A and B are shown apart, each in its own frame.
Chain A
């Protein structure tokens, strides 16, 4: 049967993208072996399994590799049918794909620009773009989670906003996700990070803040 067989996940502790895949696998109770990568010294296996982007996460199932977290999430949902993270109805599926891509295509680049650019004008532009993106998410949130009453693919993709964004804010002295401006999104962040499966798989906050502090410091130093 297709869903049986060896599952391996190549990731980096603290990576929001590898984190997405871990949450999905854990939610569905899939047994897997985790391999920690050192991005400054990528393993031969990683380079063999993801020659195109050379990034984590990579999921290997029955020896067949897959890359790109959102592609992997859909594959996981299609292969292990329990605890579905993807809606059934085609229109809702299209919306789920749209909003998960929105996180990666709009939110992340804007937040990165707002936090990790040397140029002050660029940072301000990034902040504006981030606030605009967060507002779209705020408007889209109509239930406890983006997935309804239980977490779905959009929640898992948006995990970056719930955990990594506050860590970035602390590390660089930025405030984007305020509860005054984004009450629903702020509440969602709390609910999401306190979900038992999510909570168990989050990295240590101090380490993540430390990582972002170091990144910020190198940007400032390069000015």
Chain B
């Protein structure tokens, strides 16, 4: 029986990118549906009535929500190589912990920096940089968060690389100066086709964010 896989997503979403990378890693064919978050489709509202957010993976009519949960689902269903989760339970738990850390910290802090000015803006900017420094420290000397192989935590973080230019421009700092090892890791990930073909152009992301701010301000 052929699998029917549909992804409800928006092109600039870091969370959606995680799912697209995971699907590409496993070679899963799927139908991509771009959502308009100002005018959510009936399908999205039906498939994710609780959070009404993207990404949503619909597998043979059944929805799976929340990007970290979707990536683990993909790894468990299409359990051929490459494995996305570490094989050791402790390493798996650590990967989940750090993806949870990214989810709790990065986007919210960015948003606070984006929508504030003056002293408050500086505070959030420092916080954002310290979060990435922490993530850089966690990487240590490894080529990937998964060790020698690209995995769940790499997938969890790499989409934010397409937003670095946006963070830098809004915050007036350079990620390479603040977190050189992290940027080196990101470039290493970008050598993978699944990543380079998924991540959008950073300038496009920046223009999109500028557009979003204008739209927010006009409401």
**A: which residues have CB within 8 A of B?**
2, 52, 61, 64, 66-68, 71-72, 74-75, 78-79, 90-91, 93-94, 97-98, 101-102, 106, 136
Q: Taking the complex as formed, is B42 at the interface, i.e. its CB lies under 8 A from any CB of chain A? A: no
Main secondary structure of the interface of A (DSSP, over half): helix
Task: Report the separation of the CA atoms of residues A74 and B152 in the bound assembly, to the nearest whole angstrom.
Answer: 16
Q: Which residues of chain B are near A67, meaning CB under 8 Å? A: 97
Given A66-B90, A75-B89, A136-B50 in contact, is the A93-B76 Cβ separation under 8 Å?
yes
Task: Report the separation of the CA atoms of residues A64 and B93 in the bound assembly, to the nearest whole angstrom.
Answer: 11
**B: which residues have CB within 8 A of A?**
50, 59, 62, 64-66, 69-70, 72-73, 76-77, 89-90, 92-94, 96-97, 100-101, 134
Q: Give, as a whole number of angstroms, the nearest-CB distance from B176 to chain A.
A: 24
Residue of B62, B70, B90, B94 with most chain A CB atoms under a 10 A cut-off: B90
Contact between chains at B72 and A52 (CB < 8 Å): no
Contact between chains at B93 and A71 (CB < 8 Å): yes
Q: Give, as a whole number of angstroms, the nearest-CB distance from B145 to chain A.
A: 15
Q: Give, as a whole number of angstroms, the nearest-CB distance from A113 to chain B.
A: 17
**Which of A75, A101, A136 is within 8 Å of B90, CB to CB?**
A75
Q: Which residues of chain A are near B96, meaning CB under 8 Å? A: 68, 71, 74
Given A71-B97, A97-B72, A101-B69, 18 more A-B residue pairs with CB atoms under 8 Å apart are A66-B90, A67-B97, A71-B93, A71-B96, A71-B100, A72-B93, A74-B92, A78-B89, A90-B73, A90-B76, A90-B77, A91-B64, A93-B76, A94-B70, A94-B73, A97-B69, A98-B64, A98-B65
